[in-house]
Amino acid sequence: MDRGLVIRRVAVQQGGIVTRQQARRAGFSRHEIDNLVASGRWRRLARAAYLVEPLAAGDSQRLSRIRAAVLSLGPHAHAVFATAAELHRISGFSRTGAIHVALPGRAARPSRVKEPAVVLHQLEHPADAVTLIDGVPVTTAVRTVADLILRERRYPAVALLDSALNRKVISEDDLLAIPTLIRGRRGAVAARGYLAEANGLAQSPLETRTRLRCVDGGVRPDALQIEVRDSDGYLLGVGDLGWRPARVIAEADGTAPHAAPNALFNDRRRQNRLTNAGWTVLRFTWPDTLTPDYIPSTVRRALAARTPRRS
């Protein structure tokens, strides 16, 4: 069979990517491969992995780089930690350009790849702890979350737990299984505390951070995603965090969801409806969460203003 056809068939199954070893097996010499890369016909995405066909529909440059990095490291390689969370579309923690890949034993030698950086981890996972996402071997969502909360501080750890629950990539039952997965590992004591604070009603990392600032400041909300209705049952709006007895709502305003003109228009109308119904609406942004006192003190003043004074 024509070697070009062989390599295209391999590439189609791998999102347009082939490894150097696969190209050699198809009949390409080292010199020919280097010339194809030098001429721009093939594009190196990772050590010994090349994009030889256009990106598949729905694939991004980032996904292709992750796929290439994992493929280039052999059949036992799989994405872990932040890269696994990225593939599961879990948010809430800081991301870098690094691609985290696990390999067993001595195979986890330091990578020579500099762009993007590939961080190798000497790890082995049982077969049932690895799945496929977009053709990339990756730790399962519950294993990924268990691994990450051991490495993250409290706010990002709780945020990624909230994200995984909200997006339904893990379930409440999975959450109950995590203590067994982390037992005896470094950071397990703190991680068990993070599990107790997880709440899948939070729809963004900003909501999680706002909630945790309130908890730490002694003004824990009594409801998340609180529905406010009028006397006829008409839905006036849904608040991110709520203190129902005082009729106070806090909104976590992320840049992307609230920046579009229509979103701003709808936010203003909803706030007017809630205000006219007797609710105080507070609005917080990401910078507000960076200092411990601002959010809880603002909420505390709003609660005090709504509490009847004793004569």
**Structural domain boundaries of the chain?**
3-57, 73-197, 205-306
Name the phi and psi angles at 278, rounded to 5. Answer: 95, 15
Give the DSSP letter of residue 128: G
Please tell me the predicted confidence (pLDDT) of residue 221. Answer: 97
Please tell me the predicted confidence (pLDDT) of residue 109. Answer: 61
Please tell me the predicted confidence (pLDDT) of residue 309. Answer: 60
Please tell me the predicted confidence (pLDDT) of residue 108. Answer: 57
Distance, in Å, from the CA atom of 17 to the CA atom of 72, rounded to the nearest integer, reads 10
Evaluated on CA atoms 83, 87, 90, 91, the torsion sign reads positive
The number of helix segments (H) and strand segments (E) in the chain equals: 13, 12
Please tell me the predicted confidence (pLDDT) of residue 270. Answer: 81
CA diameter of the chain: 94
Distance, in Å, from the CA atom of 282 to the CA atom of 237, rounded to the nearest integer, reads 14
Please tell me the predicted confidence (pLDDT) of residue 116. Answer: 52
Evaluated on CA atoms 302, 304, 307, 311, the torsion sign reads negative
Cβ atoms within 10 Å of 241's Cβ, excluding its own: 27
Distance, in Å, from the CA atom of 273 to the CA atom of 67, rounded to the nearest integer, reads 48
pTM score, whole prediction: 0.85
How many alpha carbons lie under 13 Å from residue 274 in its C-beta half-sphere?
24
What's the CATH number of domain 205-306, 3.40.50.10610, 3.40.50.2300, 3.40.960.10, 3.40.50.300? 3.40.960.10
Neighbour order of strands in the sheet with 49-51: 17-19, 49-51, 43-46
| Cβ 158 vs Cβ 152: under 8 Å | no
How many alpha carbons lie under 13 Å from residue 85 in its C-beta half-sphere?
27
| Cβ 72 vs Cβ 19: under 8 Å | yes
Query: Can you list the residues of the chain whose pLDDT is less than 50?
Result: 111-115, 311
Distance, in Å, from the CA atom of 311 to the CA atom of 305, rounded to the nearest integer, reads 15
Please tell me the predicted confidence (pLDDT) of residue 189. Answer: 96
